[in-house]
């Protein structure tokens, strides 16, 4: 009777192995069929059907040998979405989602194109940020909430200078305390700065005007818009032209022309080009008036001399 029972059990086990095409060689059990967990219709060598659309425990879990903590999970997210998690001592370090949930890597440095990343993100190769036609705030942000004025706006952006918001066509560098440009092989040497107030300095770190250059400028032509009136009023009939005697007395006392700064003032304050040009033009126009007056006096003297010579004949 006992032999009959053993024979029956062996026969049933053999039939089940044959039906499922399982093979047991004493150390491994294998099959050439698809295996399904949670499904009767596996479509891959191993098919696992999720039992929840909201739990990270709804799919595949790899556990640690000693602690039993989860090392990795692959599960469903938000119905037909996917989620992937990796853990260290039960603490989530990596999470990727396909449903729009924020992805993150919170352990170690991330390297692309390198197996030895030296910083939180290390890219060895080229990077493309394609934001064309996506608006006017697309690029690299160094602080969160760019649109908030109190977040310092540290960013490098592809920016729509036409303000249409449709096709970014320029580059925008944004920083709360200004932007500096430097060069140098061993040391960083600042060459140009844009301050928080919008002043630009070249060769100086403290520009006091919209453009401050410490050094020489080479240009083919410079156009200056005037914010002071041209001195054509000098030629008005009621213009009070001081006499040459008054000019002489002023020079003797101050060692420079009236309305023109002294050499010391030039040295201490420099010059405002447009204002100085108008002052010099005014002096030229006054010189013209002096010359015209002198010419009249010369003509009168010539006439007087001619009359005297005529009277002696």
Q: What's the rounded Cα separation, in Å, for the pair 95 and 66?
A: 23
Q: What is the DSSP letter of 162?
A: T
Q: What mean pLDDT comes out for the span 59-75?
A: 88
For all residues of the chain together, what is the average pLDDT?
Answer: 83
Q: At residue 12, what are phi and psi to the nearest 5 degrees?
A: -65, -45
Residue % of the chain over a pLDDT of 70 = 82
pLDDT at 266 over 70: yes
Return the pLDDT at 67: 87
Token pair recorded at residue 158: 């592809």
pLDDT score of 154 more than 50: yes
Structure tokens at 169: 């066509």
Lowest-confidence pick of 23-32, 120-129, 148-157, 207-216: 148-157
Residue among 230, 242, 237, 225 at smallest CA distance from 287: 242
What's the pLDDT at 150?
A: 46
Cα 209-230-271 angle, rounded to 5 deg: 30
Helical H runs in the chain? 2-20, 244-254, 263-269, 273-311
Average pLDDT of the segment spanning 17-36: 76
What was the pLDDT predicted at 262? 94
The answer to whether the predicted template modeling score (pTM) of the entire model surpasses 0.75 is no
Inter-residue contact 193 to 182 (CB < 8 Å): no
Whole-angstrom distance, CA of residue 217 vs CA of residue 269: 19
101-129 per-position pLDDT tens digit: 888 888 889 999 999 999 988 999 988 77
- Measured CA to CA, the distance from residue 302 to residue 310 in angstroms comes to 12
Looking at residues 38-48, what average pLDDT do you find? Answer: 86
Note the pLDDT tens digit of each residue in 46-57. Answer: 888 888 877 888
Q: What is the pLDDT of residues 186-213, one digit of tens each?
A: 888 999 999 999 999 999 999 999 999 9
């Amino acid at each position: 009777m006992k032999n009959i029972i053993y024979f029956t059990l062996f026969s049933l086990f053999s039939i089940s192995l044959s039906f499922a095409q399982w093979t047991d060689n004493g150390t491994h059990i294998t099959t050439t069929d698809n295996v399904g967990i949670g499904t009767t219709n596996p479509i891959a060598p191993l098919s696992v059907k999720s039992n929840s659309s909201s739990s990270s425990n709804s799919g595949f879990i790899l556990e640690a040998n000693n602690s039993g903590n989860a090392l990795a999970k692959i599960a469903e997210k938000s119905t037909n979405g996917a989620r992937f998690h990796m853990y260290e001592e039960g603490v989530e370090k990596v999470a990727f989602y396909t449903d729009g949930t924020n992805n993150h890597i919170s352990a170690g440095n991330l390297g692309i194109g390198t197996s030895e990343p030296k910083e939180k993100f290390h890219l060895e190769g080229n990077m493309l940020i394609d934001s064309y036609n996506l608006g006017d705030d697309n690029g690299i942000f160094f602080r969160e909430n760019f649109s908030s004025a109190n977040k310092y706006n540290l960013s490098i952006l592809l920016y729509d200078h036409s303000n249409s918001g449709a096709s970014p066509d320029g580059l925008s560098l944004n920083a709360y305390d200004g932007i500096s440009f430097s060069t140098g092989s061993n040391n960083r040497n600042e060459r140009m700065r844009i301050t928080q107030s919008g002043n630009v300095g070249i060769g100086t770190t403290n520009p006091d005007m919209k453009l401050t250059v410490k050094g020489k400028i080479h240009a083919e032509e410079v156009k200056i818009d005037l914010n002071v009136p041209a001195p054509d009023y000098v030629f008005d009939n009621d213009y009070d032209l001081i006499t040459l005697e008054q000019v002489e007395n002023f020079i003797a006392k101050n060692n420079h022309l009236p309305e023109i700064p002294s050499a010391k003032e030039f040295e201490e304050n420099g010059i405002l080009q447009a204002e100085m040009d108008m002052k010099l033009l005014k002096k030229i126009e006054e010189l013209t008036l002096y010359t015209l007056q002198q010419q009249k006096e010369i003509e009168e003297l010539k006439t007087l001399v001619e009359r005297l010579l005529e009277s002696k004949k």
